[in-house]
Amino acid sequence: MRQHDLVVIGAGSGNTVIDDSFAGLDVAVVEEKWFGGTCLNAGCIPSKMFAHTAHVARTVAGAGTYDVDAELLAVRWRDVRDRVFGRLDADREEGRRGRRESDFVTVYEGSARFTGPRALRIDLADGAVDIGARQIVVAAGGRPSVPPPVEESRLPYETSDTVMWIDAPPRRLAVLGGGYIAAELAEVFAAAGSSVVVVEKERRLLGPQDETVAERFTELARTRYDLRLGREVVAVGGRPGALRLTLDDASTVEADMLLVATGRVPNSDRLNLGAAGIAVRDDGRILVDAHQRTTAEGVFALGDICAPVALKHVANREARVVAHNLRHPDDLIAADHDLVPAAVFTRPQIASIGVTGQECRRRGLDPLVGEARYADVAYGWAMEDTTGFCKVLAERGTGRLLGAHIMGPQAATLIQPLVLAMTLGIDASTLARSPYWIHPALTEVVEKALLDLDL
């Protein structure tokens, strides 16, 4: 059994743990599927490249709003796909080649499972190899979850891991799920010409978002898609290319293609973690402490396989924490998950940080609430925006910001001043009144929401 100083399982954010400061060690990287992880290959990056293309298509189609005569002829799906993945495939191969050519990193391209404490078996294309390590980082990510009725049907379906590679958008697309992945991809395919039906077991889309965001987004989505809310799929029938989904109210949905976007699950069940003494939570996430250490000595974990929030910027933060703690065992640092911003790149964009209105009620909080519409500021007039808004929640008496939620164009950018303020402890009144806010920039919607708190 070959012994390494450090083994990293997973070449997504796990791959960023290793830099030149590890050059004096014998390091190994194990990757089963693709370098760059889900984000680069099938997640945040390609989906946003498709989402921006959809935005361009919608802008052209809606140009008449601005007294511009324009016609959308087509979204050339294959050309879009080849442009997106031509660039990303090159980045993936560059990362893979760079690791293979490293003089201190061994690359194992295969699947890993534990055989004992800090001991692994790697299944390679040409056999298996057993290795051990003084330290191990588990960064094996997650995968789409698929409801039993879909799996049991044995009929074809797509997930976020596969749907962007198809040759053409379907005429009729059924989207199963109402979260951020479903919202983003539904808009991509609708902009490309598909007729979209969304089936979601909750009564509104984007349920974890602030209630005002979820309600207003659901209202907008209802004008664009056929929404089947409060419903679940109990059976999938028909044949490939002509599917029939039966819902729990006995209604049916006809579709040429089914996209399953009901969430993701960690890959912990594929690693035989029990053999290594690594504990997992009820939901399958690896149990880690504040320093990203698992219950097994010398084993760390990061990213979607353990994180409370499955986002790339969280995984990257945890990777930096793990890299430091591997090098400095006597000076450990912690990962902070208290204030994690997030964005949904659908139409319109959505961004958030901190608590929601419904969370405040559950906690018995009575916050001040400020809101401003895009239509309240000059650049919102220029955009002819009638649905965008910014909502902020602050503690009574102190003005401490508790949460912020934006729905509208550029929301993922507009949220950042609020992220900084909450992270650095800047209260709402100071943020609203101390810095200049450029007029007539769209950021004025944030300023007006803060001032609406009336502190």
pLDDT (tens digit per residue) in 288-347: 999 999 999 999 999 999 999 999 999 999 999 999 999 999 999 999 999 999 999 999
pLDDT bucket at 363, cuts 50 / 70 / 90:
very high
Question: What's the confidence (pLDDT) of residue 21?
Answer: 95
Whether residue 9 is found in the same domain as residue 123: yes
Whether residue 133 is found in the same domain as residue 53: yes
133-171 tens-digit pLDDT = 999 999 999 999 999 999 999 999 999 999 999 999 999
Residue 202 structure tokens: 């909750």
Instruction: Tell me if the bond preceding 348 is cis, omega within 30° of 0.
Output: yes
Q: What is the pTM of this model?
A: 0.96
Whether residue 214 is found in the same domain as residue 153: yes
> Any residues with CB less than 8 A from the CB of 410 and at least 6 apart, and which?
349, 442
Q: CATH number for the domain including 428?
A: 3.30.390.30
Whether residue 50 is found in the same domain as residue 77: yes
Decide: residue 113, CB within 10 A, 0-12 exposed, 13-18 middle, 19+ buried.
middle
Is 428 domain-assigned?
yes
Distance, in Å, from the CA atom of 335 to the CA atom of 149, rounded to the nearest integer, reads: 38
* Boundary residue ending a domain (295, 327, 359): 327
Is 342 domain-assigned?
no
Whether residue 191 is found in the same domain as residue 236: yes
Question: What's the confidence (pLDDT) of residue 136?
Answer: 98
Whether residue 380 has pLDDT greater than 90: yes
- Residue 124: which H helix or E strand, with range? strand 119-124
Instruction: Specify the length of the chain in residues.
Output: 455
pLDDT bucket at 384, cuts 50 / 70 / 90:
very high
| Backbone CA torsion sign across 65, 175, 74, 163 | positive
Contact criterion met (CB below 8 Å) for 388 and 403: no
Whether residue 118 is found in the same domain as residue 11: yes
* Boundary residue ending a domain (262, 282, 302): 262
Strand order in the sheet with 368-373: 342-344, 350-354, 401-407, 389-394, 368-373
Is 338 domain-assigned?
no
439 labelled catalytic: yes
The 10 Å CB-count burial string (b at 16+, else e) for 76-89 is ebeebbeebbeebe
Q: CATH number for the domain including 156?
A: 3.50.50.60
Question: What's the confidence (pLDDT) of residue 287?
Answer: 98
Whether residue 69 is found in the same domain as residue 123: yes
Whether residue 185 is found in the same domain as residue 231: yes
Instruction: Tell me the residue range of the domain where 240 lies.
Output: 148-262
Is 340 domain-assigned?
no
426-450 tens-digit pLDDT = 999 999 999 999 999 999 999 999 9
> Any residues with CB less than 8 A from the CB of 79 and at least 6 apart, and which?
none
Distance, in Å, from the CA atom of 383 to the CA atom of 386, rounded to the nearest integer, reads: 9
Q: Which one from 52, 328, 337, 439 is the annotated catalytic residue?
A: 439
Is 189 domain-assigned?
yes
Residue 272 main-chain phi, psi, to 5 deg: 55, 50
What percent of the chain shows pLDDT beyond 90?
Answer: 99
280: DSSP letter: B
Whether residue 24 is found in the same domain as residue 65: yes
Whether residue 402 has pLDDT greater than 90: yes
* Boundary residue ending a domain (227, 242, 262): 262
Whether residue 131 has pLDDT greater than 90: yes
105-128 tens-digit pLDDT = 999 999 999 999 999 999 999 999
Question: What's the confidence (pLDDT) of residue 455?
Answer: 85
- Residue 41: which H helix or E strand, with range? helix 37-41
Whether residue 296 is found in the same domain as residue 214: no
How would you classify residue 210: left for phi > 0, otherwise alpha for psi between -120 and 50, otherwise beta?
Answer: beta
- Distances from the Cα of 4 to the Cα of 106, 120, 227, angstroms: 9, 11, 53
Mean pLDDT score of the chain, rounded to an integer?
Answer: 97
Report the first-to-last Cα separation within the chain, whole angstroms: 66
Is 339 domain-assigned?
no
Name the domain count of the chain: 3
Whether residue 50 is found in the same domain as residue 109: yes
Is 107 domain-assigned?
yes
Is 332 domain-assigned?
no
Whether residue 135 is found in the same domain as residue 271: yes
